[in-house]
Amino acid sequence: MYQLETFILDIPTIRPHKMSVATMQKQTLVLVKITSAEGIVGWGEATTIGGLSYGEESPESIKTNLDMYFAPSLTSISGEMNIAQITQMLNKNIIGNRFAKCAVQTALFDIWGKKLGLPVSELLGGRMRDSLPVLWVLASGDTDKDIAEAKQMIDSGRHNIFKLKIGSKAVEEDVAHAVAIKKALGRDVSIRVDVNRAWSKMQCIKGIQALQDGGIDLIEQPCAIFDTELLKYLTDRFDVAIMADEAVMAPQNAYTLAKNRCADVFAVKIEQAGGLVEACDIGKIATFAGIDLYGGTMLEGAVGTIASAHVFSTFESLAYGTELFAPLLLTEEILKTPLAYENFELKVPKGAGLGIEPDEEKISALTRHS
């Protein structure tokens, strides 16, 4: 038997974060706390971006579904069901809801890890590395501000790879912005762009050609989620790497994308995948298909970020690094000891379970009560 509690936290960001799908002034975290019959506590996270403008689940719908449907299922579990069996039961009884499922599975892995005295990475097959490269996303909406922010990140040893959020302005303006940043930061600094599905076919052809000529290294989700034919066409047509992000959901559709070679790179997100095991499955599918990997984020706080880090640490190759920077975008700390970002990398904890200690007083103080 497991007891499930949910919390919605609204935390302001350190600056507005402008994307083609939304401008964020705050991030809304959805945290899940599960307590096992023997009293072991595990944490998970089901955070999304911009309400319903990014994913199919909103913070409020996630909380409602967890409270109304997942909680009774977990309470009713008797005997010694393992994580695979619980996942199968939830998948049988609950359609979709990948973000909520990921939060529940994360909390169960945290509990199991604590019970067995092992980090989650080891329960997932074993880590290949103890720390992960982490890029920073420049999204102030202003070219000069972004250049200053990037230089400060490089000087302070925090990040030396940058992703730009584009797609909300005219293609020419977005390209000029990206190329100006690339020029200012120089040859050795990798610049990538995320269009967040904003471009039509003609805009993709024009924009990607100019970005490729301007030295940009990676083009993320340039077109609509379900236009996988266009994604494939762009992958075949251009030398610059094309990455599928929103289009990579559960392992089943990652498999279809891989089979049809619709991308050079997959952004893996634990919540989009529907769980840590499913994210590892996507990693394997990509590896077998010769598709490179990138560790993505739903801009989760510390809990989802470190769960993702455990998953990405198990990938044999992580050619494009990760974007596990979101806790640094938030103005409030929710862990007793903050995550360790050092030398352009995030350390993957070695303690049992997720290896973090959420500050319950802080979480309670930040919890939305209406």
Pick from 45, 57, 227, 245 the residue near Mg ion by CB under 5 A: 245
> Is there a catalytic annotation at residue 165?
yes
What angle, 0 to 180 degrees and rounded to 10, lies between the N-to-C axes of helices 251-259 and 228-237?
40
> Closest Cα to residue 337, out of 362, 319, 313?
362
Helices (H), the chain: 59-65, 71-75, 83-93, 98-116, 120-123, 143-155, 171-185, 201-213, 228-237, 251-259, 270-273, 276-289, 302-313, 360-366
Question: What CA–CA distance (Å, rounded) separates 158 from 285?
Answer: 31
The interface partner of residue 110, options being ligand MUC, Mg ion, none and the CB cut-off 5 to 8 Å by kind, is none
Q: Is 140 exposed, middle or buried (0-12, 13-18, 19+ CB in 10 A)?
A: middle
Taking a C-beta distance cutoff of 8 angstroms, is the pair 282, 269 a contact?
no
Residue 137 binding result from Mg ion, ligand MUC, none, given CB thresholds of 5 to 8 Å by partner type: ligand MUC
Of these partners, ligand MUC, Mg ion, none, which one is at the site of residue 6 (CB under 5 to 8 Å by kind)?
Answer: none
Stretch binding Mg ion (CB under 5 A), from 22-30, 70-78, 187-195, 201-209: 187-195
| Minimum CB distance to Mg ion, residue 326 (Å) | 12
Residue 352 three-state SS: coil
Q: Answer positive or negative: Cα dihedral of 247, 249, 251, 252.
A: negative
In the complex, the smallest distance separating the C-beta of residue 320 from Mg ion, rounded to whole angstroms, is 12
Choose, by CB under 5 A, the member of 57, 194, 264, 281 that binds Mg ion: 194
* Shortest CB 33 distance to ligand MUC, Å: 25
Q: Which residue in the set 323, 346, 353, 355 belongs to the binding site for ligand MUC (CB under 6 A)?
A: 323
Looking at residues 268 to 307 of the shown chain, list those that interact with ligand MUC (rule: CB under 6 A): 296-297, 299
Q: Which CB sits closer to Mg ion, 327 or 355?
A: 327
Catalytic residues: 165
Summarize as ranges the residues that interact with Mg ion (CB under 5 A).
194, 220, 245
Give the footprint of ligand MUC on this chain (CB under 6 A): 19, 49, 137, 139, 165, 194, 196, 245, 296-297, 299, 323
